[in-house]
Amino acid sequence: MSRFLKIFISAIVSCAAVLLSPYASALFTDVDYSDWHYGYISAAADMGLVNGTGGRRFSPDDNITRAQFITILGRMAGASEDSPVSSGYSDVPEDAYYAPFAAWGKGAGIISPDTLFRPASPITRQELAAMVSRYVSTLDTKPEPAEDIQTEFSDMDQVSPWAREHVEALAAWGLLQGDDSGRLNPLGSTTRAQAAAVLVRLSELLGNETASSGSASPSAPLSPDIFRYIYHAGGYTGEHINSNSLEALEAVYDPQGCLIELDFNWTSDSGLAAIHYWSQEYSPDLEGSQQPTLSQWRDAKVYGVYTSLDLSRLITWLYENPAAYIVTDIKSGNLAGLEKIAREYPEFISRFIPQIYSYEEYQPVRDMGYENIILTVYMMSHDDARDTSAISEFVRENDIAAVTFPVAMAQEEGYIQGLDGCGALLLTHTANGHETRAYYFSLGVDGIYTDFPPWLPEQPEGIG
């Protein structure tokens, strides 16, 4: 089809410089793409410097302890992790995970030779500066002072005399930065996010590659073959369907390219949540079927097990899994929802394939910048949904990627034939099982919305 030849060539050109990446299984559910620290934490995780705190969380705002920081700094330096080892500190057990790093830090002059290390104490910002500055002094390569950065802060008088040269060095290198009020807060604790930022900035200054492997741009072209299977409501998690969950996305993700349909509804405070209807009780964490706030939804577990998706969490997953495209099914306020996506995340707009429910929605959605639009007929009136002449004329006059219709209509005599040749792909929803899907392909559809990936030998029993 000429429409998709154009899409295929355009996608090849736009993706030529993007490295294909397997999906990032280490996604932290409390670190979003829009957070200031996202790039630092993602890069630090890719470098193997940091781990999560359990339950797929990174806890970016928690304080980092002295033991945790010397461990990360030691990993960055390539220090030996052999244990047990005596560090010489009376409060560091030989079998502690951080013991070899404390021993390394003491031997290299990075931490003081006192008898106590205070491993569980939060590391202050000036203590962090001292450790990093002393570590840099052991290197052959020294970072150059950064340009056009703030090096004087209103609370520099609070810096301890022993730490001043170290704080000034990190400020000059652009590693230690102040807050919006121009304060450095040298005696304050350091958060896990701040520590990751300092070390990633240092690695970059030393000439190391620290960029995350993710991308807002797609790494797989949007060819007609990708439309053959569209995973309905996120797809099969391995135990459930219709979850619209993070685990569902991960279960069906294909680094060669995939389309995943997600349902969206609005939270009570105007957030977008990936859920079919609030009237269906998906989560025991929510009271009955009431419409929650965005924060309540993010904290809820779908079916009591799975990670809920909102727009921010979805964008983060898309960045880390660049071969995925999302087909939207926004149950109410479709135009408002699509406008919210386009306005808040314009760099990701090519990763969304919006479904429109009427002819009137097409031009506003096109004006938002969406290039690939699906016309779905299930919300049209009975007569309009079956007027294949009008649908075909609309498709030929506009830039429609695909037309989708329920499986019951696909079985109606002459329906698919009435749309054949309109210039768009023909899709039907929802069909499961190898024989059932083969039947609809034999009728002439180009793609099928399905709950189960085609590589499963058969549809699991007992799942609707």
Q: In terms of domains, do 40 and 109 share one? A: yes
CA distance 184 to 378: 58
Provide the 8-state DSSP code for 410: H
DSSP-assigned letters across all residues of 20-77: P----TT--TT--TTSTTHHHHHHHHHTT-----BTTB--TTSBPBHHHHHHHHHHHH
* Residue at 458 is within a domain: no
Both tokens of 327, joined, read: 């087909």
Looking at the structure, do residues 253 and 326 belong to the same domain, yes or no? yes
Domain boundary among 170, 205, 240: 205
Domain range holding 402?
216-450
Domain assignment present for residue 210? The answer is no
Q: Is residue 14 part of a domain?
A: no
- Asked if the model's pLDDT at residue 141 lies above 90, the reply is no
pTM for the complete prediction?
Answer: 0.79
Residue 14 has pLDDT above 80, yes or no: no
Last residue in a domain, options 175, 205, 235: 205
Do 168 and 265 belong to one domain? no
| The domain boundary residue, chosen from 147, 179, 205 | 205
Torsion angle of the four alpha carbons 107, 109, 110, 113, in this order, in degrees rounded to the nearest 10:
80
CA distance 276 to 391: 27
330 shares its domain with 197: no
Average pLDDT of the residues in 382-404 = 97
Q: What are phi and psi of 385, to 5 degrees?
A: -65, -25
Domain CATH number, residue 316:
3.20.20.190
Q: What is the pLDDT of residues 405-420, one digit of tens each?
A: 999 999 999 999 999 9
Round the average pLDDT of the chain to a whole number and report it: 88
How far, in whole angstroms, is CA 331 from its chain's centroid? 23
Distances 270 to 239, 266, 281 between C-alpha atoms, Å: 31, 6, 20
User: Which amino acid makes up residue 164?
Assistant: R
What is the rounded average pLDDT of the residues 212-229?
83
CA pair distance 27, 52, nearest whole angstrom: 9
What is the total count of domains within the chain?
A: 2
Q: Tell me what the mean pLDDT of segment 384-388 comes to.
A: 96
155 and 234 part of one domain: no
Q: Are residues 311 and 367 in the same domain?
A: yes
